Each structure stands twice: as C-alpha cells, then as structure tokens.
Amino acid sequence: EVKLVESGGGFVQPGGSLRLSCAASGFTFSGYWMTWVRQAPGKGLEWVANIKYDGSEKYYVDSVKGRFTISRDNAENSLYLQVDNLRAEDTAVYSCARGRDIDFWGQGTLVSVSS
Amino acid sequence: SYELTQPSSVSVSPGQTARITCTGDVVAKKFTRWFQQKPGQAPIVLIYRDSERPSGIPDRFSGSSSGTTVTLTISEAQVEDEADYYCYSAAENNIWVFGGGTKLTVL
C-alpha cells in the first residue's frame, strides 16, 4: 500500500523556519520524482516544488524561490522541504505527492505563519 | 501564460451532466489531469493524459481536449460527486500548475 506521511508543520512567526518531512512507503521511492503542493485555508491547490528521483534537478514556483529548498534521502525513503523566511501568505497545508504529474498524495501538514 | 482558468462553481441537478472546463495555453501542448477533492480528504486522480481514466474511477467521469481547453464531464451526476475539481498540467521550464478549482454542487 502506497503511503505518504508528512510531518514538521507548526506555528511560526514571520521570518521563521521549519523543516517539513514526508515519509514514503509501499513503492520504490528512488524511482519517482516527488512534489510538494500546498493549499491555503479555503483556497485552491498550489504547486510548490518538485525534485528528480536522484535529486539532480529541482524546480520551484516563483513565489518561494530563494526561501524554500526541496531535498530527498532515498536511503531513508524521505522527502523534505526546508521553508525559511516564512511569510503570512505561506500559511497552508503542505502535502507531498508522488510523481511530477502526481498520482498519489499524502494528507498534509499545516504550516501557520502569524505574529 | 502559465495560468489554467476554471469556473469557480458549477451546479447541476442529480442525474444531469456537469461539464467543467480548464483553459490555458499550456493545455494545447501538454497533457492535463483532473483531481477530485472532497472536504478534509487528499485529492484523487480522476483523469490523466486528458482523457484516460484510472482503474476504479466510475465511467461517468470522462475527459476531452480541444485546443486550449480541456473539459471534465460528469454524466448522470450524483450527490456524492459534490467536491472541488482541479485541472493540472506542466507549464514551461519544468514548472507545473493547477487550475483555480471548481466547486461542483449537485442538488
């Protein structure tokens, strides 16, 4: 059974940082691109970033470039998103998803940015 | 442009056909997929490669593409189909994009 379980979210002040994690199981993690998606409260889905199966290519939405860093550890079957210099508009549920075209999602972890 | 435009809401009566459009330059060049998201749940794939349906998805869900518009069609819509629907496609430069989402009401 494919599973993606996110963790690491929380409440943080503007300018703060968090490291989000996604534990993958039930598939060959090292064979897939992986994606982070976010959804602000009451809003639509927003593609955030993705990373190639070997970590050699990474792409970001313009609004997070220079502040967020996607990475992975294939030995640990884990995906990460380091989120720095957080802004109020980054408040959202962050979900990891399998593939660039996305065929499976996790339930997400909430990041809330407020003073 | 990297934008995908969807109607914010569509409303139909049970048994009617609902059509949700997704428009943007990118859909003319790249495959699009559709997701269904119910409250509090992770999205699921309804349609991939514009018109392909994963196993387990009822055949009342179908997809089509013409030029810069892709369309999700829900035939004989049921109350359980009430959800938010999103299109998704690759844009330029390895960036991907979601449509703004459409809230389907069946009543």
Residue A78 in this model has a pLDDT that exceeds 80: yes
* Average pLDDT, integer, range B4-13: 97
Q: Higher pLDDT residue, B91 or B86? A: B86
Give the minimum alpha-carbon distance from A45 to chain B in angstroms, rounded to a whole number. Answer: 6
Residue B28's pLDDT is: 83
pLDDT at B1: 55
The 10s digit of each residue's pLDDT in B52-76 is 999 999 999 999 999 999 999 999 9
Name every residue whose Cβ is closer than 8 Å to that of residue B72 and which is 6 or more positions away in sequence. Answer: B19, B20, B21, B22, B34, B46, B47, B61, B62, B63, B85, B87
Segment B10-34 shows an average pLDDT of 94
For residue B94, give the chain A residue with the closest CA: A59
Half-sphere exposure for B17 (CA within 13 Å, toward CB): 10
Give tens-digit pLDDT for A11-53: 999 999 999 999 999 999 999 999 999 999 999 999 999 999 9
* Contact (CB<8Å) A44/B31: no
Q: What number of C-beta contacts closer than 8 Å exist between A and B?
A: 50
Number of alpha helices (DSSP H) and beta strands (DSSP E) in chain B: 0, 9
Across the interface, do B84 and A50 touch by the CB < 8 Å criterion?
Answer: no
Cβ-based interface (< 8 Å): residues of A facing B: 35, 37, 44-47, 50, 57, 59, 61, 95, 100-103, 105-108
The mean predicted confidence, pLDDT, of chain A is 97
CA atoms within a 13 Å half-sphere pointing along the CA-CB vector of B79: 1
Q: Per the structure block, which two tokens stand in for B86?
A: 């999103």
Q: What is the mean pLDDT of chain B?
A: 94
Beta pairing class for B83-90 and B102-106:
antiparallel
Q: Is B46 helix (H, G, I), strand (E, B) or coil?
A: strand
